[in-house]
């Protein structure tokens, strides 16, 4: 299978690299051309537009930062849709709102092609290790034919039915993740502020019912309070919170805690922490 990959940021570059390692023919494009070079050195072809990627690929994958970025590579004379034709497939692995996913599905099918939304759970390390969780929804035929490619990027792939369901699932997932991280930050601030040792506090957490990989990974970074290299940029988490709150408003579901968590992330953005890892929200919570 010839696979196109558009969007070579923190996640996309690692995911495309794993497709290459899996023996697939991969053509790439990125808005910043130099991001293509490492993959080109590993055997990828480089196209001059998203349309060109779609024209030469059986399946085109997009991994963009937000709905606006998806539309910028999807639409227009040089966009993905313009390069699709009957029998091809478009898989959008970006985290977007339901409306964007539905519009992508409609535009893709108008060209006689198949569509799948497939956002992922995981950050830089799972992307590099091909251990992402992939939530897929849309055309089952495309899911079945692309499953072997998806398995080169993720350890758990779930088909959720009609398009829109994967976007809803991803937003609900990230809502929980942001809330857990906020609780960790507050617990660590309380422990440290009252004179307790942060390492011992993390040890206690890790020995009980709320032990989890994220606390093990982020806890020491929060305790050190130095650098927060972006495994998952804070600005992307705030975007996901914003989309989750919008979805909740549409269906009439109150999200009391999430609304508060979103305000914390907005404060962190205002403090210039958007490009840091989302664990940097601890700097809003922790007293100087």
- Strand-pairing partners, residue 277, are 233
Alpha-carbon distance of 89 to 187, in angstroms, equals 46
Could you tell me if 156 and 122 are in contact, meaning their C-beta atoms sit under 8 angstroms apart?
Answer: no
Instruction: Examine the residue annotation and report whether 111 is marked as an active-site residue of this protein.
Output: no
Query: Angle formed by the axes of helices 198-206 and 213-224, to 10°?
Result: 170
Backbone phi and psi for residue 146, each to the nearest 5 degrees, phi listed first: -105, 0
**Chain-centre distance for alpha carbon 209:** 27
Please state, in angstroms and as integers, the Cα–Cα distance from residue 92 to each residue in 100, 101, 117, 147, following that order.
10, 8, 5, 14
For residue 188, the SS3 value is: helix
| Closest residue by Cα to residue 74 from 91, 98, 87 | 91
Q: Of 170, 218, 235, 239, which residue is the catalytic one?
A: 170
Q: Residues for the chain: how many in total? A: 288
- Whether 6 contacts 28, CB under 8 Å: yes
Q: With the C-alpha atoms ordered 240, 242, 246, 249, is the resulting torsion angle positive or negative?
A: positive
Active site residues: 170
């Amino acid at each position: 299978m010839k696979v196109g990959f558009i969007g070579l940021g923190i996640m996309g570059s690692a995911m495309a690299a794993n497709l290459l390692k899996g023996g697939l023919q991969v053509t790439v494009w990125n808005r910043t051309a130099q991001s293509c070079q490492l993959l080109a050195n590993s055997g990828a072809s480089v196209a001059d537009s998203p349309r060109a990627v779609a024209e030469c690929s059986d399946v085109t994958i997009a991994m963009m930062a937000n709905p606006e970025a998806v539309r910028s590579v999807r639409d227009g004379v040089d966009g993905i849709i313009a390069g699709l034709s009957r029998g091809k497939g478009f898989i959008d692995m970006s985290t977007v709102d339901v409306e964007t996913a539905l519009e992508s599905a409609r535009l893709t099918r108008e060209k006689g092609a198949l569509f799948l939304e497939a956002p992922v759970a995981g950050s830089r390390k799972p992307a590099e290790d091909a251990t992402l969780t992939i939530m897929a929804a849309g055309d089952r035929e495309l899911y079945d034919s692309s499953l072997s490619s998806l398995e080169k990027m993720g350890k758990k792939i779930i088909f959720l039915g009609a398009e829109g369901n994967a976007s809803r699932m991803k937003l609900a997932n990230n809502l929980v993740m942001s809330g857990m991280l906020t609780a960790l930050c507050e617990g660590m601030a309380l422990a440290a502020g009252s004179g307790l040792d942060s390492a011992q506090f993390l040890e206690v957490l890790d020995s009980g019912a709320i032990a989890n990989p994220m606390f093990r990974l982020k806890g020491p970074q929060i305790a050190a309070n130095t650098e927060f290299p972006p495994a998952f940029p804070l600005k992307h988490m705030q975007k996901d919170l914003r989309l989750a709150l919008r979805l909740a408003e549409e269906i009439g579901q109150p999200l009391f805690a999430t609304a508060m968590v979103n305000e914390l992330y907005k404060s962190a953005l205002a403090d210039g922490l958007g490009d840091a890892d989302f664990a940097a929200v601890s700097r809003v919570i922790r007293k100087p």
